[in-house]
Structure 1
Amino acid sequence: MQSEAITFHPVVIGGGSVGLLYAARFLLNGQSVELVTRSREQAALLGERGLSLYTLDGRRETVAVNASPIEDGLPAGDLYLLAVKQTAIAELLPLLRQLPRSARVLALQNGMGHHERLAEALAPEQRFYAINTEGARRLSPTDVEHTGTGLLRVGPWTAEPVRDPLIAAFVAWANRCGIRAEYVDAVEPYAWRKLLANALINPLTALFEIPNGMLLDSPHTLRLMRELFDEAAAVSNRCGQKIDEADWQEIVSICRNTSRNLSSMLQDIRRHNRTEVDAINGYLVEKGKRTGTPVPLHETLLRAVLLKSGMETAKGEAAHDRSG
């Protein structure tokens, strides 16, 4: 059966930048979708206002969307795009366990560790992973901006003998709709490369409060990025994932292609939300300790982001108390 002939019924879990971006793309290309949000308030606003996508060429496109809060459970579907942060996965495991064996879950997380947690709830044939390098920024609970082009790599964590027809159908659909996507035999090598990109870009943009592209404007940030890359590459190589000079050039390209994008870590700090630094730099620090590979710069970045996040949260709480 041709993958193009297979229909699927997607459910997007997560109302952040990536979740809103893919929900909008489904709808704007004629594919019905259910959107699951963390809060009832966001679901209600989406029902009232619709979902607006600000495109790369400056257009605003608004579509009606069916949205419901996670407390109402997961709607019926066969393809679940898991677009929540690493920190939210644990609370979703009971709901994911209730999905039928025929359902497929496609995880779009930054960082590492989610594949281990999803293995607790889902059978091997149910869980798939995606590495997304496109840029998106949530402007409000109902508005998302597409800030940079990229590539969506989709597949199992490690190689499987047969490709899944439903996942293949999703990849074929994505390419027909102008989303550059490919089905890869194993996502793990790409996940390591995305981890390295996130470990360089996210904490530095969060600490300096700058968009991705500004990291390339100074020789000081470029040198710091390169030193961080060398540390992370040493850990990756010790873990069996070969990293080389081409991967450094790819990170520079990501900064350039998403130059206007505000990293998710910077957005989290500004919104006084918990960051994913533990699943990114913290993961590298943990692997560095296990393999005997020193990563002092990543240890420092980890502490600095945790400190800044705590300080910004305290400022937000103080401002709320004064306004109250």
Structure 2
Amino acid sequence: MITPLPHWYLLGAGNMGTLAAWYLTRAGHTVTVIKAGSPASLEKTLLLPEGKSVTLTIPVVAPEAIPASIDYLLVAVKTPYSRAALAPLNTRLHDASQVIRLQNGLGALDGLLPDNLTVLEAVSTSAVKGQHPHHQIVAENHTWIGGKANPPAWLAALQAHWPNLQWADDIHTPQWQKLMANAVINPLTAIYDVPNGQIVDDPELRKRAEEICTEADHVLQALDPAWPAASLENVLAVARATAGNTSSMRADRQRGAITEIDAINGWIVKQANRLGLEVPENQAVMDALKR
């Protein structure tokens, strides 16, 4: 008997949500976007790294029209909107539901899902830019999926269609590596309104980057003594590789949107407070952006 491929409900059809939807549909999965007040489908154009483009048509359903039971849910909504997006869905999720969190930062879904639900964490270093309906894939890098469960049955076949997708038993390592890059690059470029490369080139920004890294590394090492606590060079390498890019937090601030600071530096500050550690530079950038 052939097991049917998953039907995914997608929260957040932005850049990364659209990229994930494209990979899933290439593998034969089906995807429906959950969105109020939208047409029956979304037409998306993806500009591929080699210069070609593809058109992706994704059906849309309003929250009140979702079926009584959701088996597969992909959460790619911006972290500040997680609570509102998930509120209509809680009664439709069950113990066997599979939820993938594809979001920046950490802790965005804490307390928002039913008890005993297993969440698969996804971390991607791929880069997509643009706004609906055009999404330019800048780089197809690595994506890790992991969690407390075993690899899901659908993962192996999906890897043939999702470039550089791999399972991580220890998901917190790639999570924390991306968290460190986000905790430096996002707030500093947003506060100073500069592209990513300025963190490397500007002495003041580089000094602040080092202070944020040092504080955050101490927190992560307190959580896991095996953490190497030497993140600065990796963070600077990411800034160099994306020197001309505008970070997502800078883009959010430019258009007056809520930033994801609470799930990035805010998570670091929360852990530091719990551990009795001082992280004044992380607190300072969080305060600046929340003002």
C-alpha displacement at 1:216, in angstroms? 2.8
Cα distance in 2, alignment partners of residues 29 and 217 from structure 1: 42
Residue 81 of structure 2 corresponds to 88
Cα distance in 2, alignment partners of residues 233 and 22 from structure 1: 30
The SS at the match of 2:30 is: coil
- Is this contact kept in 1: 2:64–2:88, CA < 8 A? no
Change (3 A) 1:189 1:241: farther
Change (3 A) 1:241 1:260: farther
**Which letter does structure 2 place at the counterpart of 1:13?**
L
1:118-137 C-alpha deviation (Å, 9 max, x unpaired): 4x41524x321111221122
- Is this contact kept in 2: 1:53–1:143, CA < 8 A? yes
- Normalised TM-score (structure 1): 0.78
Residue 244 of structure 1 corresponds to 228
Cα distance in 2, alignment partners of residues 53 and 179 from structure 1: 15
Match of 1:13 among 1, 11, 14: 11
The SS at the match of 1:136 is: strand
Match of 2:92 among 88, 98, 109: 98
- Is this contact kept in 2: 1:10–1:32, CA < 8 A? yes
Q: How does 1:304-319 map to 2 (within 5 A)?
A: 304-307=288-291
C-alpha displacement at 1:283, in angstroms? 1.9
Cα distance in 2, alignment partners of residues 63 and 115 from structure 1: 28
Considering only aligned residues, what root-mean-square deviation do their CA atoms show, in Å? 2.9
- Is this contact kept in 2: 1:113–1:279, CA < 8 A? yes
1:90-128 C-alpha deviation (Å, 9 max, x unpaired): 23145134124332000112122235324x41524x321
- Is this contact kept in 2: 1:149–1:257, CA < 8 A? no
- Is this contact kept in 2: 1:149–1:258, CA < 8 A? no
Cα distance in 2, alignment partners of residues 241 and 8 from structure 1: 38
Cα distance in 1, alignment partners of residues 63 and 243 from structure 2: 33
Cα distance in 2, alignment partners of residues 222 and 136 from structure 1: 25
- Is this contact kept in 2: 1:192–1:241, CA < 8 A? no
Cα distance in 1, alignment partners of residues 69 and 274 from structure 2: 41
Change (3 A) 1:71 1:256: farther
The SS at the match of 1:57 is: coil
**Which letter does structure 2 place at the counterpart of 1:132?**
S
Residue 133 of structure 1 corresponds to 125
Name stretches of at least 5 consecutive residues in structure 1 with no aligned partner: 308-324
Change (3 A) 1:136 1:223: same
- Is this contact kept in 1: 2:9–2:72, CA < 8 A? yes
Cα distance in 1, alignment partners of residues 4 and 232 from structure 2: 38
- Is this contact kept in 1: 2:46–2:55, CA < 8 A? yes
1:190-231 C-alpha deviation (Å, 9 max, x unpaired): 333322221111101212223334433334433321221011
Paired positions, count: 290
C-alpha displacement at 1:58, in angstroms? 3.1
Cα distance in 2, alignment partners of residues 263 and 45 from structure 1: 31
- Is this contact kept in 2: 1:147–1:258, CA < 8 A? no
Q: How does 1:170-249 map to 2 (within 5 A)?
A: 170=155, 172-240=156-224, 242-244=226-228, 247-249=231-233
Change (3 A) 1:185 1:28: closer
Change (3 A) 1:214 1:154: same
Residue 317 of structure 1 corresponds to none
**Which letter does structure 1 place at the counterpart of 2:55?**
T
Alignment partner of 1:301 is 2:285: yes
1:141-189 C-alpha deviation (Å, 9 max, x unpaired): 3222222332111111xx45xx1433xx23x244312521111113234
Cα distance in 1, alignment partners of residues 3 and 69 from structure 2: 21
**Which letter does structure 2 place at the counterpart of 1:60?**
S
Cα distance in 1, alignment partners of residues 229 and 95 from structure 2: 41
Cα distance in 1, alignment partners of residues 164 and 259 from structure 2: 28
Q: How does 1:140-151 map to 2 (within 5 A)?
A: 140-151=131-142
Alignment partner of 1:62 is 2:49: no
Match of 1:44 among 39, 54, 66: 39
Change (3 A) 1:294 1:20: same
- Normalised TM-score (structure 2): 0.86
- Is this contact kept in 2: 1:12–1:19, CA < 8 A? yes
Change (3 A) 1:208 1:29: farther
- Is this contact kept in 2: 1:136–1:146, CA < 8 A? yes
- Is this contact kept in 2: 1:11–1:35, CA < 8 A? yes
Change (3 A) 1:259 1:81: farther
Cα distance in 2, alignment partners of residues 304 and 181 from structure 1: 36
Looking at secondary structure, tell me which structure has more strand per residue: 2
Cα distance in 2, alignment partners of residues 260 and 177 from structure 1: 29
Moved more, 253-262 or 273-282: 253-262
